Amino acid sequence: MEPVSYVDVEIQQGIYFLTLNRMEARNALDTKMLAEIEGALDEAEKSQDVKVIVVQGAGGKSFAAGADIKQLQARKPLEALVPGMQGLYQKIENCSKVTIAAVDGYTLGGGCELALACDIRIATKNAKFGLPELNLGIIPGAGGTQRLARVIGKGRALDMILTGKMIDGEEAERIGLVTYYVEREELKEKIEEVASQIMRKGPVAIQLAKHAVHKGYDLDMETALWIEKLSQSIAFGTEDKQEGTTAFIEKRQAEFQNK
């Protein structure tokens, strides 16, 4: 018998769809699923055909309902020190491709933190975001205490973490937790629209821009601007920069080669 997989993958015109598929547990993230996500991420990272990675949940009820609480219950203090979920999410943030979280249904705890590790978040009306870890006597431990505050501000992050309340997609868009808010039926179209805009850009510039934002964000301005300058210097040395500027002057669409 084929072992059950908790992650489905599919490439469609440059978009790598990574679908969390453990519907019976509301796509809760156990160690098996986390390992499969990492495997899929490595595959997408290596593939020249992949330009954008979309993370989504199967089943319509959940993006992901957080870490698997049954596994969590057995965990000992020092087990929280391994890279684990936090390390995987760091790897997602550091990925050279653009990552989009397409959020529909429950997006709780480690599920919300997974969405926060992605570059862009799109939510449906049915999305329900929350960090309910304090209900379990623990704290958000996969980047939630840090990324949420950086994305929506310290006051709102503290409110969500300390109350454990859930907010819907509309509210998430209002406070900047997600960039786009759409009806469920419009989600696929929105993903393709955003991804196709990104895919028209050169991969080297995408990677440099993404890292300049992520890495520069927590640094002092002087150092962050220096990272920007060095990144631009690398971009200036690429064939894609010659192609992009020439295409503008020749009034045509640029054909970037990732060089």
Instruction: Give me the active site residues, please.
Output: 113, 133
Our CA angle for 15, 18, 19, nearest 5°, is 130
> Strand ranges (DSSP E) for 61-194?
62-64, 98-103, 106-108, 120-124, 128-130, 167-168, 180-182
Cα–Cα dist 67/149, whole Å: 20
Residue 44 as a binder of ligand CAA (CB under 6 A): the answer is no
- Is residue 174 a contact residue for ligand CAA (CB under 6 A)? no
Choosing from 5, 11, 21, 25, the residue that interacts with ligand CAA (CB under 6 A) is 25
Q: Could you tell me the sign of the dihedral formed by the alpha carbons of 220, 155, 104, 123, in that order?
A: negative
- Rule CB under 6 A: choose which of 36, 119, 133, 240 binds ligand CAA: 133
Kindly tell me which of 89 and 180 has the beta carbon lying closer to ligand CAA. Answer: 89
Q: What track of x and - describes contact with ligand CAA for positions 90 through 119 (by CB under 6 A)?
A: ----------------x-xxx--x------
Output the smallest distance, CB 35 to ligand CAA, in A. Answer: 15
Q: Which parts of the chain are beta strand (E)?
A: 7-12, 15-20, 52-57, 62-64, 98-103, 106-108, 120-124, 128-130, 167-168, 180-182
Rounded distance, CA 155 to CA 177, Å? 13
Q: Where are the beta strands (DSSP E) in 104-164?
A: 106-108, 120-124, 128-130
Closest CA to 97 of 210, 191, 227: 210
**Residue 121 lies near ligand CAA (rule: CB under 6 A):** no
The binder of ligand CAA chosen from 85, 114, 178, 212 (CB under 6 A): 85
Closest contact distance (angstroms) between CB of 55 and ligand CAA is: 15
First to last CA, the chain: 44
Q: 61 or 215: whose CB is closer to ligand CAA?
A: 61
Residue nearest to ligand CAA (CB): 109
| 152 binds ligand CAA, rule: CB under 6 A | no
Could you say whether residue 140 binds ligand CAA (CB under 6 A)?
yes
Compute the least distance from the CB of residue 165 to ligand CAA, in Å: 12
Binding segment toward ligand CAA, per CB under 6 A, in 42-50, 131-139, 217-225, 237-245: 131-139
- Give whichever of 46 and 76 is closer to ligand CAA, judged by the CB atom: 76
58-67: buried (b, 16+ CB within 10 Å) or exposed (e) per residue?
bbeebbbbbb
User: Which residues make up the interface to ligand CAA (CB under 6 A)?
Assistant: 25-26, 28, 65-70, 72, 85, 106, 108-110, 113, 132-133, 136, 140-142, 144
